[in-house]
Structure 1
């Protein structure tokens, strides 16, 4: 059986399908490398492989065998499988870690896939107090996808509003309004290269609160009928929302420096803050022991990437600020039209084929280590308590005995202080849509 192959359908953020074959004993890492080789992805740090469990994307532990994440059919002999009509094994190549500056992605292909993922996130976003950002994003997206606006070509309904706007904006403003005003914003971006437009889209999209974040539905109480809490995992920290009637209200914003420790015990996940509230814990319930351990692992990996990216993002910010000052000085002493045609501004962004010049790319890669396995966590302590036995996500049973030993008291009430919320978010509310797109393999 070890020599048998399994066919897997891998969906990219562009919704392109890769039909690949791996051995029955293959690990997630083998499939991940195969996807990256076939798709020509060099900068792989921000991506992962995921499967769908209970209407939620679950990222694979790449060290584990694929058989852990797929049904029992995976290990079935080929002659047995041929007798039964089965759907193909499906995995998703998705963004696992977010970064707000697209220049930190050193590979053109990886940056484009990251951009496509954010476009999908924007379509599900619902920050009603930031409506103008969605029009800016649409203009950047059209420039990235279609290039410069051409009066003879881009007339009438030359794009579908549904491809660039969330449905709530289309319903409130109307498709005619969008088609009447967005082309002018598209024209204003004339001269931007596809790379510049993609970078602008990434920058603007990451300013929306519900875009560069992974959401997980959790329980406030151990025996709650349904999940009422949303845990948002972003590059800079953890967000906690209360969910009711499709509305999500931000309760707490915990940047990494304000988190002292995260622990899991059975189905329970605890976040201990830093500072005055250090003696109190935010206690949440995940529903399954494997899910608690999975979230703890994902928190740890995200925090480590945050630490490794800090010097890169600081360097990029200084570089951009220096370039802005240089452009300002040149525009002050030169003709505006001449400055607009100056190629040095685009040279700063790098060659379109290579993503950036070799000197900057080598510096960027030296500041961003490829491995996320560092044990240094700079103050934040992430501990997994008990239950060291590996569990399959397909078989979450067998955890009741452990959970009965978990104290039932909750320290949630001690966290009803909005002291960690950013200004303007304490009473902020927006509707949040989380869903998994259905797939047709016909």
Structure 2
């Protein structure tokens, strides 16, 4: 069958749109490569293609066919509305100087600047004014004396700040902070913005909506994935109620079975936190995102350690040898992967009966389990399990992990 061509739109972090022509049999990676070529950016490792699925954003598995994530009407060329994918930041790095590709850094800055508009860290109100000053210097350069409004408050500040203080107050006081940055290059101002924006905990985070029970009508729990770990909060009467902050170093294991997530961490005092995703597809992709984010965290730490000439003990698929260094709260224990097999019978969305269900678990310092000493062993493990349907409740659908240690742009 011929690989028929279809149109789709990709929305960029800077709100620009690109039109692509792709084949209905194309995999996500082929679309991602075409997008990279159109943008002239050779390395977009920090980004992923996102689509709305089950009313939640979902990063595409680039190894899978694009048509698995899009409406059937698109495949049959009957889509009445244009199909939109979004290029979004998938991995956050606290040290933006590691992003050496200028164009990639501009997209990264554009997305985080947009996220600030939706931020609600009320206790850091003053920081928003400083961030806007950095953004104005990055976008417009040095302040120029003028008798007209040279920026729109709503384009730089969250609505709640504009509503609280009004346009006149903002336009009177913000230029003073902008003037103080005279002579600072635009690229440096953007880096200052990216450095300070990590103070706002609701900006450099990817949010997933989970549930306390199997029924989706039960209490909603928000899982926030950051560069340093997980944040757990609960929606009560329409407001976020913070529950747990789980740095990587405090997490003992994360596992899933079907739609059920189970998290074990030191702060839970030997109890497990059990949550449910809205679908099996979301559960598998969430665990994939968590795994890849943790690996990015490790590689970022290693790059920083190499640039500093220091040595760090890392949670990196290792043989557990003592590195003869002093531990700190930021250092991670060793990680290993293992599979649990349990009898299970279900009918997938594709109508196939399965006799077994597997769960992939990330575990820390549990005795008598399988160690993986080489990242290549991880690749081979997942390659053995290639061919799993995206709707099948078997395991995390990763057939190949890129070796992030070879990235050129971070």
Q: Which TM-score applies when normalising by structure 1?
A: 0.70
Deviation, 1:396, is 5.8
Q: Secondary structure at the match of 1:88?
A: coil
Q: Secondary structure at the match of 1:221?
A: coil
Deviation, 1:2, is 2.5
When structure 1 is superposed on structure 2, of 289-298 and 121-130 the one drifting more is: 289-298
**2:284 is matched with which residue: 286, 293, 300?**
293
Structure 1 Cα separation of the partners of residues 221 and 305 of structure 2: 33
- Specify every segment of 5 or more residues in structure 2 that has no aligned partner in the other structure, as ranges: 310-315, 319-331, 360-410
1:156/1:179 contact within 8 Å kept: no
**1:103 is matched with which residue: 75, 97, 101?**
97
Instruction: Specify the alignment match of 1:5 in structure 2.
Output: 5
When structure 1 is superposed on structure 2, of 244-253 and 194-203 the one drifting more is: 244-253
Structure 2 Cα separation of the partners of residues 403 and 223 of structure 1: 23
Instruction: Specify the alignment match of 2:209 in structure 1.
Output: 217
Instruction: Specify the alignment match of 1:414 in structure 2.
Output: none
Deviation, 1:143, is 0.4
Assess, with a 3 A threshold, how the Cα gap between structure 1 residues 73 and 156 changes in structure 2: closer, same or farther: same
Assess, with a 3 A threshold, how the Cα gap between structure 1 residues 75 and 375 changes in structure 2: closer, same or farther: farther
Q: Secondary structure at the match of 2:157?
A: coil
Instruction: Specify the alignment match of 2:400 in structure 1.
Output: none
1:272/1:282 contact within 8 Å kept: yes
Instruction: Specify the alignment match of 2:236 in structure 1.
Output: 244
When structure 1 is superposed on structure 2, of 378-387 and 44-53 the one drifting more is: 378-387
Q: Of Structure 1 and Structure 2, which has the larger fraction of its residues in helix?
A: 1
1:13/1:116 contact within 8 Å kept: yes
Instruction: Specify the alignment match of 1:232 in structure 2.
Output: 224
Instruction: Specify the alignment match of 1:303 in structure 2.
Output: 294
Instruction: Specify the alignment match of 1:283 in structure 2.
Output: 274
- Specify every segment of 5 or more residues in structure 1 that has no aligned partner in the other structure, as ranges: 320-373, 390-394, 407-442
What do residues 6-28 of structure 1 show as CA deviations (whole Å, max 9, x unaligned)?
11111110111111112221110
1:257/1:380 contact within 8 Å kept: no
Deviation, 1:241, is 0.6
Structure 2 Cα separation of the partners of residues 37 and 378 of structure 1: 39
Assess, with a 3 A threshold, how the Cα gap between structure 1 residues 59 and 227 changes in structure 2: closer, same or farther: farther
Please state if 1:313 is matched with 2:304: yes
Instruction: Specify the alignment match of 2:69 in structure 1.
Output: 69
Structure 2 Cα separation of the partners of residues 275 and 160 of structure 1: 44
After superposing on structure 2, the runs of 4+ consecutive aligned residues of structure 1 that deviate more than 2 Å are 221-224, 274-277, 311-316, 374-387, 395-404
**1:91 is matched with which residue: 81, 85, 95?**
85
Assess, with a 3 A threshold, how the Cα gap between structure 1 residues 64 and 166 changes in structure 2: closer, same or farther: same
Deviation, 1:37, is 1.1
Structure 1 Cα separation of the partners of residues 233 and 338 of structure 2: 23
Instruction: Specify the alignment match of 1:380 in structure 2.
Output: 335
Instruction: Specify the alignment match of 1:117 in structure 2.
Output: 111
Instruction: Specify the alignment match of 1:168 in structure 2.
Output: 160
Structure 1 Cα separation of the partners of residues 351 and 127 of structure 2: 47
Assess, with a 3 A threshold, how the Cα gap between structure 1 residues 384 and 225 changes in structure 2: closer, same or farther: farther
Structure 2 Cα separation of the partners of residues 14 and 74 of structure 1: 26
Structure 2 Cα separation of the partners of residues 400 and 184 of structure 1: 66
Q: Which TM-score applies when normalising by structure 2?
A: 0.76
Structure 1 Cα separation of the partners of residues 349 and 208 of structure 2: 17
Structure 1 Cα separation of the partners of residues 89 and 176 of structure 2: 32
Deviation, 1:399, is 11
Matched length: 338
Deviation, 1:375, is 6.2
